[in-house]
Structure 1
């Protein structure tokens, strides 16, 4: 478990190294600019609304523990806000991230991405992609409902930061594995199978990205690092036969 977590961390560092390499840098520009704009909004929202959200989250009967719980709930809020904003950023940057993943994969192993099979294949591909995205939204939604219930129940919400952190790490691993796997016509169901096989590495990868996402300024680089690191994860582990 611990070894897997540290291995997952290594993919983030690989991603950071890859996006600085000549030939890769030009494909980082657009995702980076999108991230800067989106996360600047997230930073403003989180800082301006922090006190109001804290007042709602912290039950009155636990005010005597405010000195201990305040930083815990503050971390929860920042993780939640920046995770939501990372979803928005990834949606907007998806086409550019797919190209970045393709270039990174070519750099790592020199293997070409499967060629376009012709316009006759588009309808089936669109339907499969749509079903995959619906599956991802359903998967995310049912866990979000549980997390929200945990978050609003006094006493129980003490474990909410841990639950949100695990959820965020897992979903970010899914998000960034999506680009290289999507380039190989593999979708959400395929991702889950592969990631569950390497669960601890996926959590380590996603957790360190979550940490990057929650740190102002550093979070500007989280998306391109995540795409490049997710591609390294795909090439080195996830592409193995399941």
Structure 2
């Protein structure tokens, strides 16, 4: 059993290497392609609507307010990038949830693990769509119930000094909860059981989440952070969490 608490971050690097395996690539490329298409459509729609807004209130280059276009377009582009950065993970997880469970299964089988008998391939994806989305919404509720009190700390003098550190620690923990769910759910572990096992490997869970946080902050790299996290969390489960009683 791995006892080094910093091993949590190493699972991500090893998970990234696993994604290059031929048998795992389709489960990475399919949800990634879907997400790219969805965000491309959203970006196109946003740009089109903003352009119509500009044409309505700032028509033509001859308008005396035409110079505002040179200010508003860069501001719009920056805002759009920020929205994509902060919403990509949430939306991508909802879209890719069924594929993530299947990716976790394939990674575990590649590692020599065993999965309880269940439908495979397309049948499993269809079967898991509703439960996986419900699971994502449950994790989102778990996040909000704890994130809101932490955000309030930022407004309280004195306590706002420690609030950023508490927020970073909670974010790292939540990411471990988020992605640890996929391999453990494949073994029919309830949320409370998953939570208990992660608590028994608290420091490894935190370093796993902290490493993933850094990965998500790097442009382009954040697009493959999700499948990397699923593969890394499956390694975490296979080598450490499955040995914990509970």
TM-score, L = length of structure 1: 0.71
> Deviation of residue 81 (structure 1)?
8.1
1:32 corresponds to: 32
How many pairs does the alignment contain?
203
| Residues 38-96 of structure 1: CA deviation (Å, up to 9, x unaligned) | 78889x9998249xxxxxxxxxxxxxxxxxxxxxxxxxxx8x98565313211110011
More off after superposition, 206-215 vs 135-144: 135-144
2:108 corresponds to: 105
Query: How many angstroms apart in 1 are the aligned matches of 2:129 and 2:92?
Result: 22
1:168 equivalent in alignment to 2:171 = yes
Query: How many angstroms apart in 1 are the aligned matches of 2:154 and 2:38?
Result: 25
Alignment RMSD: 3.5
Kept in 2: contact 1:38–1:89 (CA 8 A): no
1:12 corresponds to: 12
> Deviation of residue 35 (structure 1)?
5.2
Pair 1:131–1:176, CA change in 2 (3 A): closer
Structure 2, unaligned runs of 5 or more: 44-73, 120-127
Matches within 5 A, 1:140-219: 140-154=143-157, 156-219=159-222
More off after superposition, 81-90 vs 12-21: 81-90
Name the one with the larger helix percent: 1
Instruction: Name which one, 1 or 2, has greater alpha-carbon Rg.
Output: 2
Kept in 1: contact 2:15–2:229 (CA 8 A): yes
Match of 1:114 among 110, 113, 116: 116
> Deviation of residue 224 (structure 1)?
0.5
